[in-house]
Chains A and B, each alone.
Chain A
Amino acid sequence: MYVAVKGGERAIENAHRLLADARRGDQSVPELSLDQISEQLGLAVDRVMSEGSLYDRELAALAIKQARGDLIEAIFLARAFRATLPRFGASEPVDTGAMRVRRRVSATFKDIPGGQILGPTFDYTHRLLDPSLAEGFVPEAPATSEASTAPTPRVTDILGRDGLIESSPQAEEGATIGDLTREPLNFPADRDLRLQNLARGDEGFLLAMGYSTQRGYGRNHPFVGEIRFGEVEVEFVGEDVGFAVPLGAIELTECQMVNQFKGSATEAPCFTRGYGLAFGQSERKTMSMALVDRALRARELGEEALAPAQDEEFVLSHSDNVQATGFVEHLKLPHYVDFQSELGLLRKLRKEFAEASLEADASDGMKEAAE
């Protein structure tokens, strides 16, 4: 006697209860607050905001908490919420040249107007586990000084003044700004959509792709013209209002790579650009993005495009970790019926193979007997 499996609904409910319990962990340990996550796991929050395409520290912290620290799961939560929000339009372009800079380094010039500013960075820390951080650590008050009022022009603008680097492509007046969350991506993609895809793309995927260009799979001779991190103002022009309304300030990291020069008989040689931008402090992400952006410009710049990082369809189709994780993980869903069909076919092929072998043996045997 056999009774088909039932009770899936109860199983799901119980699994979710168990998850909630596991998420909380040992209840004698104090619960994490969203402030704690936002303040003390700030770079995780930055990543969730960037790849989740949603600038909201509190919701990102909640997503991290809900996802038990699984950042791709947290990014997914942020995206699913974002998808339900109405879209009012696009902000005015932010002016990263006017950024209130907290960190800013250039690898191309020893000194630059406004100075190099190391800011809060892991660079030059010695990666030794620090037991004093385990509990009760009170950091020394940071060194402070009067904020500088000196302008901090972008290094690429300095190069651009002398024509040493190609000018930043300017959007046509009144051109609509693509949004791949509103229109499906088609190939070849315009640069606005490509950059949006990369900005939402998985940090690890972009890191590996960028790294591959350094190892010869589509080399593009990068120099970090500048990385800057700080606050910029966001403004929005409402259709009915007619003028720019400030919405507030957001933290951004921008990386401008100075790359392999181009030139021809009719065009003076100049450096080319790769661009990276992300919410919060996300240097690895923006540097990787800039490398990949430059690699994806190969065709536009008349270079051979043979390496994976130069393959637009390959990179843009596989950069999204929410899509990737969903499809990889869906393999754990039941596939009984298609597997059964495959199993039936395989059994049939094996049976025919065995029969054919038997026949072959038999006719070999007959041959031998006849000889």
Chain B
Amino acid sequence: MNAPAYNFAYLDEQTKRMIRRAILKAIAIPGYQVPFASREMPMPYGWGTGGVQVTAAILGPQDVLKVIDQGSDDTTNAISIRKFFAKTAGVGTTTATDQATVIQTRHRIPEAALHENQVLVYQVPIPEPLRFLEPRETETRRMHALAEYGLMHVKLYEDIARFGHIATAYAYPVKVNARYVMDPSPTPKFDNPKMDNCPALQLFGAGREKRIYAIPPYTQVVSLDFEDHPFEPYRFNAPCALCGAENSYLDEIVTDDRGSRMFVCSDTDYCEGRQAAGHHGALSAAPYKDKAQGDANG
């Protein structure tokens, strides 16, 4: 039988070269979606194949990798992807944001400020911010070419007319370096301001849609809005029940069938770090134990 044999970080070198060239172009044209010949990966399309290909193309043995899904290192898909790279590239993994050199994420940007020696790799399902207004690639490509973004403003304004607010809560469109309108991936709009002038390089991979795009470090990223309806990040108004944080994005946890709720940090590393530093919330379990069981190398 044609038994499979796999390369370092899974991808063959020809594929890595192709992805690496696309990454360089993406960095040179901030916010522009570079088409690339996305490969069939050993996990399904829609489950992070774009992010996985970008990570596989940049990752080296010196890297320390963190993978989060919904802000957490211990969600099943994050574990699965972290294990994939621990196995195929033998890299060190971590759950600590500040110790990672490469962070692959789905749906969140870590709460801790990123630094210059980090690359944040986003998994993107639909890279085209105009797709919900215009399903045709030929049309949206023309709109980007002409920087013709009136339709997007019309859509946002229609929301205001109907609901009194811009009714986009996640995947909130941004303009990068005053040129390209870009989809930030389905992160909550709470995270949008973190993309602006960020010291870390941000790379976006959309496997099924075959696109790679980037925000270089220290690049202007502005959430679309109107003078009379400025962009507002949303956060549930409560401290984290575990660490008491007042400025982190919160998960809502349903605790019984009588309407009880609790709110805790979605960024588990941030929350654990605060608890370890002695911060407490109303419902914290102290001392915090069973830490980071999901870490493949831990």
Contact = CB atoms under 8 A, between A and B. Distances in A.
Asked whether A and B interact, the reply is yes
Given A6-B293, A344-B234, A338 B170 contact: yes
A215 interface: no
B191 to A, nearest CB: 9
Interface size class of B (residues with CB under 8 A): 35 or more
A316 to B, nearest CB: 10
Contacts of B187: 337-338
Contacts of B83: 9
A76 B42 CA distance: 8
Interface size class of A (residues with CB under 8 A): 35 or more
Interface stretch (A143-151, A177-185, A281-289): A177-185
Contacts of B252: 340, 343
A336 B251 contact: yes
Nearest to B13: A86
B132 interface: no
A340 B251 contact: yes
Nearest to A79: B40
Nearest to A15: B76
A332 to B, nearest CB: 10
Nearest to A59: B2
Contacts of B236: 340, 344
Contacts of B294: 6-9
A313 B137 contact: yes
Contacts of A349: 163-165, 167
Contacts of B1: 58-59, 62
A10 B76 CA distance: 10
B251 A313 contact: no
B85 interface: no
Contacts of B38: 184
Contacts of B12: 84, 86
B37 interface: yes
Interface stretch (A158-166, A269-277, A319-327): A319-327
Residue from A59, A79, A345 with most neighbouring chain B CB atoms (10 Å): A345
A186 interface: yes
A12 B165 contact: no
A334 interface: yes
Given A6-B290, A83-B41, A184 B285 contact: no
A12 B76 contact: yes
A8 B75 contact: yes
A181 B37 contact: yes
Interface string B154-195: 000000000111010111000000000000001111100000
A32 interface: no
A86 B14 contact: yes
A336 to B, nearest CB: 5
Nearest to B292: A6
Contacts of A58: 1-2
A76 B47 CA distance: 14
B42 A80 contact: yes
Interface in B1-57: 1-2, 4, 6-7, 10, 12, 14-15, 35-42, 44-47, 49
Given A84-B12, A342-B170, A2 B242 contact: yes
Interface string A1-18: 111111111111000000
Interface string B47-88: 101000000000000000000011110111111100100000
Interface in A27-74: 56, 58-59, 62
B151 interface: no
Interface stretch (B111-119, B221-229, B261-269): B261-269
Contacts of B15: 83
A345 B250 CA distance: 14
A187 B137 CA distance: 8
A326 B234 contact: no
A6 to B, nearest CB: 5
Contacts of B235: 344
A23 interface: no
Residue from B46, B77, B290 with most neighbouring chain A CB atoms (10 Å): B46
B152 interface: no
Contacts of A336: 70, 251, 266
A367 interface: no
Contact of B188 (A5, A6, A327, A338): A338
22 contacts: A1-B283, A2-B285, A8-B75, A79-B40, A80-B40, A84-B4, A181-B37, A185-B210, A326-B45, A326-B46, A329-B44, A330-B44, A330-B46, A334-B69, A334-B76, A335-B107, A337-B70, A337-B170, A337-B249, A340-B250, A342-B170, A344-B234
Given A2-B283, A6-B294, A334-B69, 6 more contacts: A7-B74, A83-B39, A87-B14, A336-B266, A337-B108, A337-B251
